Structure 1
Amino acid sequence: MNPIIQEVTQRIIERSAKTRAAYLAKIEKARKQGPLRGELSCGNLAHGFAACGKEDKADLRSMTKANIAIVSSYNDMLSAHQPYESYPQQIKDAVRSVGSVAQFAGGVPAMCDGVTQGNAGMELSLMSRDNIAMGAAIGLSHNMFDATVMLGICDKIVPGLLLGGLSFGHLPTVFVPAGPMPSGLPNKEKARVRQAYAEGKVGRDELLEAESQSYHSAGTCTFYGTANSNQLVVEVMGLHLPGASFVNPGTPLRDALTKAAAVQATRLTDLGENYMPIGHIVDAKSMVNGIVALLATGGSTNHTMHLVAVARAAGLIVTWDDFSDLSKATPLLTRIYPNGSADINHFTAAGGMSLLFKQLLDAGLLHNDVNTICGRGLEQYTKEPVIRDGELIWQDGPTASLDLEVLATVEKPFKPDGGLSVLQGNIGRAVIKTSALRDPECHIKAPAVVFEDQYALDEAFNNGDLDKDCIVVVRFQGPAAIGMPELHRLTPPLGVLQDKGYKVALVTDGRMSGASGKVPAAIHLTPEAYKGGLIAKVREGDLLELNTATGELTLHVDDAELSAREAKTADLSESHIGMGRELFAGMRASLSGAEEGACSLFFEQE
C-alpha cells in the first residue's frame, strides 16, 4: 500500500475506535432482533403481505424465503431517475426466479440541482439528503426484510440512501444505478454558449437549444458532477456489481445488470451462508477507497460533506485533512468535464471502471482486503460486464487506456495529485478543487467584493463593477443560514471576467457543486457567516489572499480592527418562507457545519 494512504486509513481507524465499535454493536443487536416476520403478531404479518399474490404470501409465511426491500427514488420528471419506472417489476421477477420475494418498501424524494439551480428550490437541496435518509429508514422500519435494493443516482439521493441504509447496517444492501444518457452536445460547446449568454452575445433561445441538446434523453447527465461521482464512489466501495455504474439506460446490458443485482441481494442474506450486510462492507478501508477514486478522477467537491456524513453513519470519523492528505498521494488519472472536454461515456470507452480499478490496485492506491457485495477483494472489479450468447458474463477489462487524453496512467498522470486542497487561515477553513484550474498553484491577493446573496452579483457584473482583479465574497449561504445552496450560476460571469484577463476568485460559505470549474473557488467555508464566522466581518475592499501552494486563505486586516468590527447580519426571511422552505426550519437549525457533513442526523458520539 502507498504509505500515505495506509497512514490516513490507520488514523481513521484509531480515531474512530469507540464510535465504530458502538456502530458494530448496534447492527449486531439488530441482526439478532430481526427480521421479525416470524415473531410479528398475525395481524401485523397479515398487514405486511396483504397485497401480495398467493405464492408470495405462502413464501413469506414460510420464513425460509428471503424478502428483498426495494427503495426507489423514481420520478419521471428527472432524466436520471425516469428509467427506474420499470425496475421494481424487473427486480421482483428476478428475485422470484430464484425462489424469493421482493416488495416495494418505499419511495424517497429526488430533486435535481440542475432544475433548481439559482432558484428558491435549491435551498432545499442539501437538506433533501437527510430527508431521503429518513424516508429510506421509514420504508425499512417494518422489519419485514432480509436485504435491500437501493435505486438512486443523483446528487443528494445516493448519499441519503447510504445514510438510510447504514442505519439498517445489519441488512445486505445492493445499489442499482440506471446509467448515463448517451452523449449529446459536447460539454465544451455547452460551456461556450453559457458564457456567451452571460456576456449578452447570444439570447435565451440559443442558450435553451444548447442546453436541450446537452440534456436530451433519459439517463444521468454526462458531465462528471456529483451524480456520476456518486456512482463511481459506490462501485469502488463495493456496493455495485462490477462495471455497473456507467451502462446506458434501455440497453440489454443495463437490464441484465439490474436483474443480476436483484439476485445477488438474495445471496447475501442471513438466511444463507454468505451473509454480508452493508455495515460490514462500509468500513475505514472502503471509505478511503471511495475517496481515493474520487480524487483520482477529479470528482465532486460535494463529497467533502457527503462522505464525511456517510462515514459517521458507519461509526467512522473522516475529516477534511484526510481528504487533503489522500489527495497528495493520489494522481489525477482522468479528464472528464469540467476537468476536460470528455464526458462519462468517453471515460467508459477509454477503459472505464475496470481499468481505473486495475491501475489503482496495481499502484497500491486501493485497499484490496475489503468486503464487497461480490465477495472479498476488488479483483472482480477489474473485469467488465458483457452479454455473450444471451448471458451476462464478466470478462477481463482492458489493460491499457484506449484514449490517453481521457484516462491516463499512474506513471504519467494528468497531475501528480488529486486536485483537492484544504485552505485555512484567520477567516476559517475551506476546500478548493484545483484539478480543473488552468494553474493548480493558484495565488491571488486582491480586494474583496462582498455580496449577501448570489443574485446581487448579477447587477454588479452587468454594471461593470467587477471588471478588476478581485476576490468575490458571497456569504450567508451556509447550512444553518439558508441550507447551503449550490452557487454554480456564478461560474459563467466569473469565467467571463477571467477570460478578460482579470485575476478573480470566489470565497463562500456556500457550495459550488460537482461542476466546479476553471474559476478558483474556496467553498464550504466554515465557520459560516450565520454562525459568527469571520467572513461576516469582511468589508468591501479588504485585502484577501488565496494561495493553493501554501494552503492559506487570509484576510489581511489588523487583528485589533477585526475585533472592533461588528459582524454583518443579513435578513434571510425571504429564504426561509415559500417553496416549502418553512417546513425545513427545524432541520436547517440543526445542521452541523460543512466540515462535519452539514448533517442533521444523530450518530454515535465520540
Structure 2
Amino acid sequence: MAADRRIETITDRIRERSRATREAYLERIAAKGAEGPKRSRLNCGNLAHAFAACGPGDKAMLSGDVAPNLGIITAYNDMLSAHQPYETYPELIRQAAREVGATAQVASGVPAMCDGVTQGQGGMELSLFSRDVIAMAAAVGLSHDMYDAAVYLGICDKIVPGLAIAALTFGHLPAIFVPAGPMTSGLPNDEKSRIRQLYAEGKVGRDVLLEAESKSYHGPGTCTFYGTANSNQMLMEIMGLHTPGSSFVNPGTPLREALTREAAKRALSITALGNEYTPAGLVVDERAVVNGVVGLHATGGSTNHVMHLVAIAAAAGVQLTWADISELSDATPLLARVYPNGLADVNHFNAAGGMGFLIRELLSAGLLHDDVRTAWGTGLGAYTVEAHLAADGKTVERRPVPLESGDTKVLTTADAPFSANGGLRMLTGNMGKAVIKVSAVKPERRVVEAPARVFSDQDDLQAAFKAGELTGDFVAVVRFQGPRSNGMPELHKLTPSLGVLQDRGQKVALVTDGRMSGASGKVPAAIHVTPEAKEGGAIGRIRDGDMIRLDGETGELSVLVPQEEFAARPLAVEDLSRNEFGLGRELFGVFRRAVRPADEGASVF
C-alpha cells in the first residue's frame, strides 16, 4: 500500500466504487483463463488453417498442447516514425520464442494514425475514435483463441490506449507492451516552437518552418517532446506492463533489440502453462490505475490521458473519475520538466535517471503502490533500475539507478520538487466540467477573466487572428468540437496564434469542448468541456462579450452572467454536415452517435 494517506484514501474510494464491476470482470477472466486456448480442442480443419503458413518446427509445436504460442499485435506502419522500427520486430520475436521452445504468430495488425500528420486536418476527426477501432481490431486477432500470451507493439497517442483496452478485454492472457523508443534529439523543442510562432506572425516563410520541423522530426522513433506518445510509455512502465527500464531506449540499438527479445521470452514465461501465470487483468487493478495517474502528474503528462485512463480502467472493471484524477494531482509533486513543461526532451529525461529514478522517488515518498503485480513479477520496486546491455552484447542487465539525478533541471527528487502538485486538475462551474493543465503555464497567467470571443471552428479563430481582429484581453470559446460533434479533434494549431497574442501582453485563454495536443500548455486552456455543445452543454449558451472566469488555481470555470438570464438563453445550433463526409468520416457516424462523454472516457463501449 502507499504510505501517503491521501493516495490510499483515493485508492480505497475507487476500490469501493468499483467493487461490483471489478468482481464481475475478475469472474469473467478467471472463467476464460480456466478454459485455456482452444487450439488443442479445435477440429483438424480449424487447426490446419491456423498453422498452414508456419514452418515444420512451428507446426509440430502448435499441434500439441505443451508449447506456448505468443500472439503479436502490431501497429506497424511506415507513416509513424515511432512505429516504423516495428517492421522487423515480429521475426525477432519469433526467433526469441523458438529459443525457449515456443512459437509466436502475428495475430493481427491494427491501424495507427499519426496525429502529427493529421493535426489541424480533417483526418484528425478520426483520431480519438481510432482508439476504439484499435481495440476492436486487436480483439479480432485474439479471437482466434490460439494464444497463451500476447505482446503489443504500439507507442503513439491512441494506439497504446486502444491496445491496453484490448489487452484487458482479453485479461486472462498475460500481456507485455513492447516499445521501440524515442528518436535521437534533433532541433530543440523550444526553438521549433519559436519558429512556429514566427510563421504564425508572417515573419518567416514556409521554407523556414519546414526546415525547422524536419530538423525536429528527423528519424525513426517517437517524437521527443513529452506528449501523449511518451506519456503512454511512462504509463505502461509505471503500471507494470513494460519490462523495467525499457520505455526510452532509442531504436536501432543493440539494447533496444535485446529488450525486445527479453520481452517476448518474459511473456512466454508467465503463461498458464508455467508457474508464474500473470494475466493482464490481475496486473491492472485500482492500485495500478492510481500508480498510472500519479506518474502522469509527477511528469506533467498529456491531458489526453484524463480520457484514456478512464477508458482503460473501465476495461478492467475499475471506475476512475476526473475528481479522482484531480485529487491525485493535488497529492503528487511535479518531479520532471520535459517539453512543453520544460526545455528538455525525453532523451534528456532518460539520461538524467529516467523511469527508474522517478519510480524510486515516488516510492520513497509513499506516493505509489509497491504491492502490485507486474508483468515482471511482484512489486513495483523491481522497476527502480536502469537497463544496460550485458557483456555478451545480446542480453539485458539491470543496475540500480544512481542516488542523484543526472540533471536536476530535468529530473528532481521527491523532497525538492519543481511544484507541490502535478498541475492537472478539474475545473467546475456553471459551464459544466473541464480539465486544465497548468504545469506548463506561468503562474501569473493561470487566472484569466475576460470577455468571450465565440467560434464554432478552429479555422474561424485562425482567420480572425490573421485579420488582426483578436485585440485586447479575451477568452476564445471554440465549441462544437466534442466527440459527438466531430470526433473531438485536437486543436493544437491554435497554440502558436494564441501564444503570439499572449507574448504581446494580452491576457488570453481557450475554452473548448475539444482537445488540445499533449504537447500544448503555454496558454491556459479549459478543455474537454462537458457536456459538449452538441449535447446541450452550457458552452452552447455563451455569446460574444460574456465575461468568463478561468481560474487554474482554484479550479473555477464560470460564465459571469446572471444565472436566470444565462439559463433562459437558447442553445446555439451548428450545421455539422461538413464533418460527416470525406477522409472516411462518413464511416464513423455510428461512433459520433454512440460515443460517451469525455469524462466517461469518450468511448463507444
Fold shared per TM-score above 0.5: yes
- Could you say which residue in structure 1 is the equivalent of 2:448? 444
Is the CA contact (8 Å cut-off) linking 1:151 and 1:177 kept in structure 2? yes
Deviation for aligned residue 1:441: 7.3
User: Aligned Cα RMSD in Å?
Assistant: 0.8
Letter in 1 for 2:383: Y
Is the CA contact (8 Å cut-off) linking 1:441 and 1:549 kept in structure 2? no
- Could you say which residue in structure 2 is the equivalent of 1:509? 513
Deviation for aligned residue 1:34: 2.8
- Structural mapping, 1:503-582, within 5 Å: 503-582=507-586
Q: 2:343 aligns with which of 341, 344, 361?
A: 341
Deviation for aligned residue 1:159: 0.1
Deviation for aligned residue 1:377: 0.3
Letter in 1 for 2:263: A
Deviation for aligned residue 1:501: 0.3
The DSSP-based 3-state class of the residue aligned with 1:447 is: strand
d(CA) in 2 for partners of 1:517, 1:526: 20
d(CA) in 2 for partners of 1:440, 1:301: 21
Letter in 1 for 2:542: V
Q: Is 1:310 aligned with 2:312? A: yes
Q: 1:282 aligns with which of 284, 288, 291?
A: 284
Is the CA contact (8 Å cut-off) linking 1:4 and 1:329 kept in structure 2? yes
d(CA) in 2 for partners of 1:297, 1:135: 31
Q: 1:493 aligns with which of 488, 497, 519?
A: 497
Is the CA contact (8 Å cut-off) linking 1:434 and 1:440 kept in structure 2? no
- Could you say which residue in structure 2 is the equivalent of 1:68? 70
Is the CA contact (8 Å cut-off) linking 1:354 and 1:398 kept in structure 2? no
**What are the superposed Cα offsets for residues 137-186 of structure 1, whole Å, 9 maximum, x if unpaired?**
00000000000010000000000000011110000001000000000000
Q: 2:256 aligns with which of 251, 254, 257?
A: 254
- Could you say which residue in structure 1 is the equivalent of 2:169? 167
Q: 1:480 to 1:305 in 2, by over 3 A?
A: same
Deviation for aligned residue 1:37: 0.9
d(CA) in 1 for partners of 2:36, 2:123: 39
Is the CA contact (8 Å cut-off) linking 2:549 and 2:557 kept in structure 1? yes
**What are the superposed Cα offsets for residues 530-558 of structure 1, whole Å, 9 maximum, x if unpaired?**
00001001001111111122211111112
d(CA) in 2 for partners of 1:331, 1:539: 38
The DSSP-based 3-state class of the residue aligned with 2:458 is: coil
Is the CA contact (8 Å cut-off) linking 2:455 and 2:479 kept in structure 1? yes
- Could you say which residue in structure 2 is the equivalent of 1:5? 7
Is the CA contact (8 Å cut-off) linking 2:79 and 2:114 kept in structure 1? no
**What are the superposed Cα offsets for residues 312-365 of structure 1, whole Å, 9 maximum, x if unpaired?**
000000000111110011000111000011000000111111111110111101
Letter in 1 for 2:262: A
d(CA) in 1 for partners of 2:325, 2:567: 32
- Structural mapping, 1:121-140, within 5 Å: 121-140=123-142
- Could you say which residue in structure 2 is the equivalent of 1:185? 187
d(CA) in 2 for partners of 1:458, 1:14: 47
Q: Is 1:361 aligned with 2:382? A: no
The DSSP-based 3-state class of the residue aligned with 2:529 is: strand
Deviation for aligned residue 1:560: 2.3
The DSSP-based 3-state class of the residue aligned with 2:565 is: helix
Letter in 2 for 1:161: L
Is the CA contact (8 Å cut-off) linking 1:440 and 1:548 kept in structure 2? no
Q: Is 1:239 aligned with 2:241? A: yes
Q: 1:475 aligns with which of 449, 457, 479?
A: 479
d(CA) in 2 for partners of 1:587, 1:564: 31
Divergent runs of 4+, >2 A: none
Q: 1:327 aligns with which of 306, 321, 329?
A: 329
d(CA) in 2 for partners of 1:66, 1:517: 46
**What are the superposed Cα offsets for residues 264-285 of structure 1, whole Å, 9 maximum, x if unpaired?**
0110100011100000000000
d(CA) in 2 for partners of 1:388, 1:580: 48
The DSSP-based 3-state class of the residue aligned with 2:441 is: coil
- Structural mapping, 1:16-415, within 5 Å: 16-390=18-392, 391-415=395-419
- Could you say which residue in structure 2 is the equivalent of 1:604? none
Deviation for aligned residue 1:468: 1.0
Deviation for aligned residue 1:33: 2.6
Letter in 1 for 2:529: L
TM-score (norm 1): 0.98
Q: Is 1:466 aligned with 2:470? A: yes
Letter in 2 for 1:476: F
Q: Count the aligned residue pairs.
A: 601
Deviation for aligned residue 1:122: 0.1
Deviation for aligned residue 1:519: 0.2
Report which stretch shifted further, 27-36 or 124-133. 27-36
The DSSP-based 3-state class of the residue aligned with 2:550 is: strand
d(CA) in 2 for partners of 1:563, 1:214: 48
- Could you say which residue in structure 2 is the equivalent of 1:424? 428
The DSSP-based 3-state class of the residue aligned with 1:557 is: coil
d(CA) in 1 for partners of 2:447, 2:62: 64
Where does the alignment leave 5 or more consecutive residues of structure 1 unmatched? 602-606
d(CA) in 1 for partners of 2:64, 2:552: 62
Identity %: 60
Deviation for aligned residue 1:559: 2.1
Letter in 1 for 2:168: L
- Could you say which residue in structure 1 is the equivalent of 2:596? 592
Letter in 2 for 1:405: K
d(CA) in 2 for partners of 1:223, 1:396: 26
**What are the superposed Cα offsets for residues 194-227 of structure 1, whole Å, 9 maximum, x if unpaired?**
0000011100000000000000000000000000
d(CA) in 1 for partners of 2:567, 2:601: 29
Deviation for aligned residue 1:440: 7.1
d(CA) in 2 for partners of 1:392, 1:129: 32
Is the CA contact (8 Å cut-off) linking 2:480 and 2:574 kept in structure 1? yes
Letter in 2 for 1:282: V
The DSSP-based 3-state class of the residue aligned with 1:488 is: coil
